[in-house]
Amino acid sequence: MRTPSTWRKVCALLIAFFFIVQTSALAAESQRTVLVMGDSLSAAYGLSPEQGWVALLGQRLGETRPGWRVVNASVSGETTGGGAARFPRTLEEHAPDIVILELGANDALRGLPLQPAQANLQRIIDAAHAANARVLLVGIEIPPNYGPEYANAFRAMFATLAHENDLAFIPFLLEPIATDLSAFLPDTIHPTAESQPKVLEHVWQTLEPMLQ
């Protein structure tokens, strides 16, 4: 038979356990999420995952915005079609408050028609907005050997989407390092580990006001 003293200890433990569970649940509910939907430029291609700009963003959020976390749903080689296909499930799984949308480079590198690419990006934007998530659209530029007409149309695609949907917008993800060949891996496409902080700073300038 338990004594009154034992019952008091059991009750105290149950109350403490309940408090911890409730506190953890409230913390989880109050935490907000930045979801990055990107390709190899955001997936730290050729590097350790923790060296990429998205992981560095997560570290910064932990240090300066403890109520925020980052989820990296980027996949190397991803096209806008692939991103649009998997976005609904990703959206449901993570319920983001902000979506950083960085897709399109692989469509262009394969010379794919831009109209479907724009439609795919629009699908992602529409789904994000329907889920009450804000979108930061991140553009990319392609090498000049694809021809000025295609390159200009590709650049304009991002600007049009940003304008028509009233989005926060970064025209060129790699702008701070684009003219420095040493900032890239031997493939001349993906930034080195040393360049990733510069990419983060570039993104942060536009993202930070959205975290308020």
The set of catalytic residues is 40, 187, 190
**Residue 53 in contact with residue 170, Cβ under 8 Å?**
no
Q: Which letter does DSSP use for residue 168 in this model?
A: E
Distances (CA, A) of 148 to 41, 90, 106, 210: 23, 35, 18, 34
Taking the alpha carbons of 11, 16, 17, 19 in that order, is the dihedral positive or negative?
A: positive
- State whether residue 5 is helix, strand or coil: helix
**Residue 155 in contact with residue 139, Cβ under 8 Å?**
yes
Q: What is the CA radius of gyration of the chain?
A: 21
Residue of 177, 113, 175 lying closest to 138 (CA atoms): 175
Report the distance separating Cα 191 and Cα 1, nearest Å: 69
